[in-house]
Amino acid sequence: MSDVHRNVSSEREELILVDADDNETGFGTKADCHDGEGVLHRAFSLFLFNAEGELLLQQRGNQKRLWPGFWSNSCCSHPRRGETMPVATLRRLSDELNISAQLEYIYQFCYQARFSEAGSENELCHVFLGRLDGAVRPNDSEIESIRFITATNLDKELALHPERFTPWFIDEWRTLREDYAGPLARYAI
C-alpha cells in the first residue's frame, strides 16, 4: 500500500485523558473521547509554513467523523497512550503529510465543540508553529486536499466564510494573530 493511501488512525486507539492543567487522568479510546460532549483529552495543532511564509492548510478527509471536508490547520491529532508530545507530532506529520518539521511550542488551551450528533471535540490542545521540511505528500485516507495561503488572505477568507473552517482552527488562528504575533511573524508573511 502506498504511503499516501495508508490507514493511520482508528477509533480504537487509546488517547490520554487529562484535567484542565494537562495532568494525565487515565486513558480512553478515540471513539469514547469523541462521543456525546466528549471527554477532555490531550491533543495538538501544527501550523506549518513554507519558505515563502505561506501557511499549509488541509481540507479534512470526507470520511472523518468530525468536521469532514472542512479546512483546518496543517496537521492536528492526539498523542496516543505512552507517547510523548514530540513523538506524537513527528509521527502524525509522517502519517498525514509524509514530512518532518522542526516545531516550536507556542501555547495550549482547552476547548469543546460539538459537531451535530456525530460527537464532539473536547481537548486540551498544544499549538505549535514550524517550517516545512521537504515536499508534502498528503495521505488521502486523512486529507481531501491541501493548499498554501498568506496570513492576509487567510484573514480575509475567515471573515467571509468562517463556516468552511474547523472551530479549533478559527480560535487558534485568532489567538496566534492577537497574542503571539511575534512568534508568528518568524514564519508567516
3-state secondary structure of 118: helix
Instruction: Identify whether 76 is a catalytic site residue.
Output: yes
CB 119 within 8 A of CB 34: yes
- Identified catalytic residue from 123, 125, 142, 172: 123
Question: Chain centroid to CA 159: how far?
Answer: 21
**Selected catalytic residue, list 33, 75, 76, 125:** 76
Q: How far apart are CA 187 and CA 184, in angstroms?
A: 6
- Sign of the four-CA dihedral 156, 161, 165, 171: positive
Catalytic residues: 76, 123
